[in-house]
Structure 1
Amino acid sequence: MAKATFKMPEEFLIKLSRLGDKTDEIIPRVLEAGGEVVEEKVKSNLQSVIGSGTKDESRSTGELLSALGVSSARQDRNGDFNVKVGFSEPRSDGKSNAMIAGVLEYGKHGQTPKPFMKPAKSASKKACIDAMVSAFEKEVEKL
């Protein structure tokens, strides 16, 4: 059987030792910082596609845009922490915000797709990671 050993950088080990039992407090704050970056990109993409390229005047009420938000960080049954960028429910007209966002993203018969979520995901990936690294560094410095 082969054996491999890795030596971690001293600076990284010092940061890990400082975390101690504070990890469960720090992780949600770091993830929420990244979620806010993605939310801003989704919001700007959504604003640009609502009402664009339609034959008739836009009937947008602004309800979909105002329903956009970031969930708080939650731990799933596997022990992983997650945040979600999405739409709160319900709408005043009884329809689902998720359904309307899906129709905008993927289109339907007679309505061309206007993707806003997938481009936001790929465009904000680096900025999201940078924001989370920065938030992590700040949290470690506080300790």
Structure 2
Amino acid sequence: MAKVQVKMPEEFLLKLSRLGEKTDEIIPKVLESGGEIVLEKVMSNLKALVGSGTKEKSRSTGELVNSLGLSPAKVDRNGNFNVKVGFKEPRRNGESNAKIANIIEYGKSGQPPKPFLKPARSASRKACIDAMKKRFEQEVENL
């Protein structure tokens, strides 16, 4: 059987040792900083798409855009931290914001799809990772 030995840089090991018990405080801050980047991109994509390219005058009330938000960081049943970009429910008329967003994203009969979530995810990936790295470094330096 093969044996592998990996030596980590001393600087990295020092940072890890400084984290200690503070990881549960740092991880939510790091994830929320990345989530804000994705939220901005999703919101700008959605604002650009709602009401554009329609045959009739737009009836948009802005309720879908205003319901878009970021959840606080929570631990799931597997012990992983998550933040989610999503919509507050329900709308004033009782409809589901998620349903309307799904129709815009994937289309329906007689309505072509206008993706805004998938492009936002891919476009903001690098900026999100960079923001999380930067926030992590700040938190480690503050210890």
Give the shorter-chain TM-score range: over 0.9
Distance 1:2 1:89 in 2: 54
Aligned residue for 1:124, secondary structure, equals: helix
Which residue is equivalent to 2:42?
A: 42
Q: CA deviation at 1:77?
A: 1.1
* Map of 2:11 onto structure 1: 11
Match of 2:78 in 1: 78
Q: Displaced runs of 4+ in structure 1, greater than 4 A?
A: none
Partner residue of 2:55?
Answer: 55
User: Post-superposition shift, 1:120?
Assistant: 0.1
1:106 — aligned with what?
106
CA deviations 1:43-63 (Å, max 9, x no partner) are 000000000110000010100
TM-score normalised by L of structure 2 = 0.99
User: % of aligned pairs identical?
Assistant: 71
Instruction: Quote the Cα distance in structure 1 between the aligned partners of 2:79 and 2:6.
Output: 26
Number of equivalenced pairs: 143
RMSD after superposition: 0.5
Alpha-carbon distance in 1 for matches of 2:38, 2:11: 29
Which residue of structure 2 aligns with residue 67 of structure 1? 67
Match of 2:28 in 1: 28
Q: 1-side partners of 2:79 and 2:69: how far apart?
A: 23
Aligned equivalents of 2:62, 2:131: Cα separation in 1: 28
Which amino acid is 1:6 matched to? Answer: V
